Amino acid sequence: MPILDKRVANILVWILLLTAPFWLVGVGGYVELGSRVLIYALAAMALNFLLGYTGVLSFGHAAYFGLGGYGTAMIIKFVYPSTPLAMLVGIAVGTAAAAIVGPLIARLRGVYFAMCTIAFGQVFYYISFQWSSVTGGDDGLSAWTRQPINLGFTSLDLQNNNKSFYYFVLAVFAVSVGLMAFLLRSPFGRTLLAIRENERRARFLGIPVDRHIWMSWVISCFFVSIAGCLYALLSDFIDPRAIRWDQSGTFVIMTVLGGMRSFWGPLIGSAIYLVLQDYISSHTENWMSFIGLFFVLIVLFFPRGVLGIIRRKATT
Amino acid sequence: MSLLRVENVSKHFGSLVAVNDVSMMVEPGELRAVIGPNGAGKTTFFNLITGFFRPSSGRIIFDGEDITALLPARRVWRGIARTFQVTEVFPELSVHENLRIPVEVASGFRLQPWLSRAADAKVRDRVAELLHMSGLAEKAGRLVGELAHGDQRATEIMMAIALNPRLLLLDEPTAGMGEQETFEIIQLIRRLHKDGKLTIVLIEHDMRVVFHLAERIMVLDQGKFLAEGSPREIAANEAVQTAYLGKAA
Distance from C-alpha of A141 to C-alpha of A145, rounded to nearest angstrom:
11
CA-nearest residue of chain B to A211? B111
Distance from C-alpha of A13 to C-alpha of A307, rounded to nearest angstrom:
13
- The pLDDT mean for chain B works out to 92
Predicted confidence (pLDDT) at residue B148 exceeds the cutoff of 70 = yes
Closest approach of A90 to chain B, Cα-based (Å): 24
CA-nearest residue of chain A to B144? A197
Q: Is A7 on the interface with B (CB under 8 A)?
A: no
Q: What is the pLDDT of residue A156?
A: 84
Burial state string for A219-241 with b = 16 or more CB within 10 A and e = fewer than 16: bbbbbbbbbbbbbbbbebbbbbe
Task: Read off the pLDDT of residues A19-29 as tens digits, 9 standing for 90 and up.
Answer: 999 999 988 88
Q: Which of A215-229, B60-74, B111-125, B202-216 has the lowest mean pLDDT?
A: B202-216
- Closest partner residue to B110 (CB to CB) among A191, A198, A200 is A191
Of A275, A230, A225, A264, give the one whose Cα is nearest residue A52. A264
Q: Which of B91-105, B159-173, B180-194 has the lowest mean pLDDT?
A: B180-194
Q: What is the pLDDT of residue A309?
A: 76
- Residue A309 falls inside a structural domain: no
Q: Is A26 on the interface with B (CB under 8 A)?
A: no
Distance from C-alpha of B214 to C-alpha of B32, rounded to nearest angstrom:
5
- Residue A192 falls inside a structural domain: yes
B-chain residues near A209 (CB < 8 A): 73
- Residue A242 falls inside a structural domain: yes
CA-nearest residue of chain A to B77? A206
Closest approach of B118 to chain A, Cα-based (Å): 14
| Cβ neighbours for A136, distance < 8 A, ≥ 6 positions apart | A142, A239
Distance from C-alpha of A157 to C-alpha of B120, rounded to nearest angstrom:
44
B-chain residues near A187 (CB < 8 A): 104, 109-112, 115
* Average pLDDT for B46-75: 95
CB B134 within 8 A of CB B188: yes
Distance from C-alpha of B95 to C-alpha of B134, rounded to nearest angstrom:
11
Level-2 CATH architecture, domain B4-245: 3-Layer(aba) Sandwich (3.40)
Instruction: Kindly determine whether residue B113 and residue A188, on different chains, have CB atoms separated by under 8 Å.
Output: yes
Instruction: Kindly determine whether residue B101 and residue A191, on different chains, have CB atoms separated by under 8 Å.
Output: yes
Backbone angles phi, psi at B17, to 5 degrees: -105, 100
Of B162, B161, B186, B160, give the one whose Cα is nearest residue B173. B186
Q: What is the pLDDT of residue A161?
A: 86
Q: Is B119 exposed, middle or buried (0-12, 13-18, 19+ CB in 10 A)?
A: middle
Instruction: Kindly determine whether residue A193 and residue B93, on different chains, have CB atoms separated by under 8 Å.
Output: yes
CB-CB neighbours of B44 under 10 Å: 22
Distance from C-alpha of B175 to C-alpha of B38, rounded to nearest angstrom:
13
The 3-state secondary structure of chain B, one letter per residue: CCCEEEEEEEEEECCEEEEEEEEEEECCCCEEEEECCCCCCHHHHHHHHHCCCCCCEEEEEECCEECCCCCHHHHHHHCEEECCCCCCCCCCCEHHHHHHHHHHHHCCCCCCCCCCHHHHHHHHHHHHHHHHHHCCHHHCCCEHHHCCHHHHHHHHHHHHHCCCCCEEEEECCCCCCCHHHHHHHHHHHHHHHHCCCCEEEEECCCHHHHHHHCCEEEEEECCEEEEEECHHHHHHCHHHHHHHHCCCC
Instruction: Kindly determine whether residue B105 and residue A191, on different chains, have CB atoms separated by under 8 Å.
Output: yes
Which residues does chain A have with pLDDT short of 50?
A: 1, 316
Distance from C-alpha of B158 to C-alpha of B151, rounded to nearest angstrom:
10
Backbone angles phi, psi at B22, to 5 degrees: -105, 135
| Cβ neighbours for A75, distance < 8 A, ≥ 6 positions apart | A82, A85, A86, A89, A90
Instruction: Count interface pairs A-B at CB distance under 8 A.
Output: 81
Partnered with residue B22 across adjacent β-strands are B9
Q: What is the pLDDT of residue A174?
A: 98
Distance from C-alpha of B169 to C-alpha of B201, rounded to nearest angstrom:
5
Instruction: Kindly determine whether residue A191 and residue B90, on different chains, have CB atoms separated by under 8 Å.
Output: no
Q: What is the pLDDT of residue A150?
A: 84
Q: At what angle do helices A265-280 and A305-315 cross, to 10 degrees?
A: 120
- Residue A186 falls inside a structural domain: yes
- Residue A20 falls inside a structural domain: no
- Closest partner residue to B110 (CB to CB) among A182, A201, A207 is A207
Predicted confidence (pLDDT) at residue B142 exceeds the cutoff of 60 = yes
- Residue A168 falls inside a structural domain: yes
Instruction: Kindly determine whether residue B104 and residue A208, on different chains, have CB atoms separated by under 8 Å.
Output: no
Q: What is the pLDDT of residue B244?
A: 79
Predicted confidence (pLDDT) at residue B155 exceeds the cutoff of 60 = yes
Instruction: Kindly determine whether residue B110 and residue A194, on different chains, have CB atoms separated by under 8 Å.
Output: no
Predicted confidence (pLDDT) at residue B122 exceeds the cutoff of 80 = yes
Predicted confidence (pLDDT) at residue B248 exceeds the cutoff of 70 = no
Q: What total number of domains does chain A contain?
A: 1
Q: What is the pLDDT of residue A249?
A: 96
Handedness of CA B247, B231, B225, B202 (dihedral sign): negative
Instruction: Kindly determine whether residue B88 and residue A209, on different chains, have CB atoms separated by under 8 Å.
Output: no
* Average pLDDT for B208-229: 91
Task: Read off the pLDDT of residues B13-45 as tens digits, 9 standing for 90 and up.
Answer: 999 999 999 999 999 999 999 999 888 999 999
Q: Is A183 on the interface with B (CB under 8 A)?
A: yes
- Closest partner residue to A190 (CB to CB) among B82, B97, B114 is B97
Distance from C-alpha of B9 to C-alpha of B21, rounded to nearest angstrom:
5
Distance from C-alpha of A206 to C-alpha of B79, rounded to nearest angstrom:
10
- Residue A307 falls inside a structural domain: no
A-chain residues near B71 (CB < 8 A): 208
Predicted confidence (pLDDT) at residue B118 exceeds the cutoff of 50 = yes
Distance from C-alpha of B234 to C-alpha of B218, rounded to nearest angstrom:
8
Q: Give residue A112's domain range.
A: 29-247
Distance from C-alpha of A35 to C-alpha of A217, rounded to nearest angstrom:
25
Distance from C-alpha of A146 to C-alpha of A162, rounded to nearest angstrom:
12
Q: What is the pLDDT of residue B247?
A: 53
Instruction: Kindly determine whether residue A183 and residue B113, on different chains, have CB atoms separated by under 8 Å.
Output: yes
Closest approach of A209 to chain B, Cα-based (Å): 9
Instruction: Kindly determine whether residue B50 and residue A207, on different chains, have CB atoms separated by under 8 Å.
Output: no
Q: Is A110 exposed, middle or buried (0-12, 13-18, 19+ CB in 10 A)?
A: exposed
Distance from C-alpha of B53 to C-alpha of B30, rounded to nearest angstrom:
25
Instruction: Kindly determine whether residue A190 and residue B159, on different chains, have CB atoms separated by under 8 Å.
Output: no
- Residue A16 falls inside a structural domain: no
Closest approach of B9 to chain A, Cα-based (Å): 21
Of A247, A291, A290, A238, give the one whose Cα is nearest residue A269. A291
Q: Is A132 on the interface with B (CB under 8 A)?
A: no
